A and B are shown apart, each in its own frame.
Chain A
């Protein structure tokens, strides 16, 4: 067995259970590390190990499942997990780069800074690849908003996202806000960023060959965020509030300068660099060690060279600080001065803090003292776990419940049910949120927030990019496989409604403690469901993040895999919006007839809101979903669609209403509604979209649908100021008022 000599000037760390708990390393893991080293680690080594072997950095429970994901096709330019984000060829010499990431635990403790630094982190992941960030999205989950604590979290998170993103000049163009009991005290804050770059100017997060100089640039290093990666890998409890020091404080102004400087440097002088990497979770430790791993090299870090904002910091603190707005550049020795001068233009200081070696060791010095000397491969090779998996019997029994045992909705109650659904925070207008985000800066936002998907143009290209996030947690809880597949299908449908062909997925896996069998079952089956769905849409998974241990004292969060989808519109001037446009246009339902089985109410907003029931079966037909996407994209390309909107939360009735409200014009669904009224109006069968077309285009649309084996039927027409749907009849103004005023009423109180 290999034995690595201890670092020259460091004693083995004193290790008791408290120390291990602080770095979230188990006794077994500690002993495993000792065996691999052939000795006990020094205290700096132990800190580095704890951070890199944390769930947050090491993906101990999720990594063994990633092989399920489809990750390749001719457009995809990166290998999953090997770079900071995934890169997709979008044609004409341009590349899109994207990733989604969580900042759940910091946001639970300190909502403004937690959410703000979440935005900062994901943006750095994108420009670390040399891409110009051009859009942000945010997928948010909170507990019920009638609780003051949840309102405070929601307001703080939204303000934090705005406070950081707005200052950067990157538009926040979309996302979700979903409310559910299980998120009380453990909100989910997932931020997604999209960037673009000319194909030749992507850069890898590698350290380069021996002799390469490692430079740190951006903020000085302080004690903030110590053990943040560890904090993200344990459950929240009462003592969590005391971990505020583990939450970092953001400086978006510094990040803006850093972004402009880094993107400019890679575009103009890529040849000065070997690699570029952001300092995220676990700070200098993870960034430099991971760079060394990619290069198959070793590194030496001189902690005294790291510019600090506090005095008396130990090497341990310098190596593990999660101070924000820092980047590591791997610079060719001849260009160290050039790089320093480049950053000076933005009043940024770049310092050499180490270099690349050929011994495969991560060595850390405090002046003359060597305080760590551990193999890179050990630090980046945490154990992987595949615990027992078992379906939660309660969820299984709820999924087996038959909604057909409920009495059907009385026609007289239909208006009331619709208005209540429109005012549910999960359905209602999210304008309260997105008007706090600059969603227009950059002058590329063709479809602004509040639609199925956001659409961006790229100056000089004909193509447009469509983006959305989806994460139907309730369905995932009932049936992790089908529910997670639905997340992908919904996202694909959403981008297709704008006329975009879905091309790639990024995902954020928000789950509770995976060491428990029901949770690991949720994680495993969700990944399988997402993987199969991604295969059906030919949308490889290019990047992502796993956020586990999302639990508060009240229990685990609803399993919430969030899918970020990228779609490409071949000609952005053909973009389709969700709003009905002109009176007398025909309204068609694609993908199904009006009649729906009671089972389609399973896991629906209707059951949850009106009956307090989160139960029933969750189905998915991936072939049908993929065929619907084909019809939507081809119909948009043929210029047939005057509007398109997918049926999801609240079913057909809500979809029709939202298109009407967006257009400020009414709708009359005059086709007869056979079968159960509740299922037809509010059932959430997938694979459906409501479109409107000019009155003379019906035949063409029908022919296209037949060609793809997709059911299509004219169900009504666009009218003046009323909404009529079966027995339902409400003035547009009343529906609109219910839908627009719900969130302000809850959140401004």
Chain B
């Protein structure tokens, strides 16, 4: 597959995502936020970082970048869009996913290994996982506490749109331990953890590859 890895001023997981995808034999290109078309790509990644320094609110300024209109159009075609960390925050700010990410309950940044439960394996992002699987993906954020109204949370649960929950320690106080959700059509995933940091055995884990491989198997 050919992936666009979006780069906003302040993005920093762009290269990490490019390498993780290239290591799996995919093509991945960094795409500057001023681009206006994503037509040439099969999938789009919104990586982690501090776009615009988190000024105003995480992701609040990035959503006005020119590439975001292209992303709207891209998502509407049903092709995969995956946002991790700041990418998740941007997807929420842009209205592609519901809810918001607020300051961690601890009021401190948290960077640590994290266990997640895979809630369903019949999605495009988790098809390579096993039922009931626990995966280890690092988290690294100061504002990852998922928050939405009880109504929205119930809708997400009822529609099976919660794909990942924190297992054991909840690192940020997210409601209902939510770590990752998809849009109603199941082709836009946002999650706080970093699969690109768990894509190389030398660095201590390869569970991130379940997500990349799921995407490739489903949409590739």
Chain A: residues with CB nearer than 8 A to chain B?
A: 159, 162-163, 166-169, 251-254, 256-257, 345-347, 434-446, 448, 457, 459, 572-573
Contact = CB atoms under 8 A, between A and B. Distances in A.
Among B54, B109, B199, which residue has the most Cβ atoms of chain A within 10 A?
B109
Interface in B49-78: 49-50, 52-55
A346 B140 contact: no
Contacts of B140: 166, 438, 440-441
B9 A436 contact: no
Given A440-B194, A441-B13, A457 B142 contact: no
Contacts of A253: 9-10, 50, 52-55
A166 to B, nearest CB: 6
Contact of B109 (A169, A251, A438, A443): A438
Contacts of B197: 440-441, 443
A169 B12 contact: yes
Given A440-B197, A445-B203, A573-B202, A166 B9 contact: no
Contacts of B142: 162, 166
B14 to A, nearest CB: 9
A436 B12 contact: no
Given A256-B10, A347-B9, A436-B111, A166 B19 contact: no
Interface of B: 9-10, 12-13, 15-16, 19-20, 32, 48-50, 52-55, 108-112, 138, 140, 142, 194, 196-197, 199-200, 202-204
Top 8 A-B pairs, shortest CB-CB distance: A253-B53, A169-B12, A167-B50, A443-B16, A438-B140, A436-B109, A438-B111, A162-B109
A441 B16 contact: yes
25 contacts: A159-B109, A166-B50, A166-B140, A167-B10, A167-B53, A169-B13, A251-B53, A252-B50, A253-B53, A254-B53, A256-B9, A256-B10, A345-B32, A435-B112, A436-B108, A436-B110, A437-B111, A440-B194, A441-B13, A441-B16, A443-B20, A443-B196, A443-B200, A457-B202, A572-B202
Given A159-B108, A446-B202, A573-B202, A440 B138 contact: yes
A252 B48 CA distance: 16
A169 B49 contact: yes
Contacts of B196: 443
B212 to A, nearest CB: 13
A519 B16 CA distance: 47
Contact of B12 (A256, A439, A445): A256
Contacts of B112: 435
A254 B13 CA distance: 17
A459 B23 CA distance: 12
A169 B53 CA distance: 11
A172 to B, nearest CB: 9
Nearest to A432: B108
B28 to A, nearest CB: 14
A459 B140 CA distance: 22
A346 B16 contact: no
Given A436-B111, A437-B111, A168 B9 contact: no
Contacts of B15: 442
Nearest to A155: B108
Given A169-B49, A253-B10, A253-B55, A443 B19 contact: yes
A441 B10 CA distance: 13
A438 B200 CA distance: 18
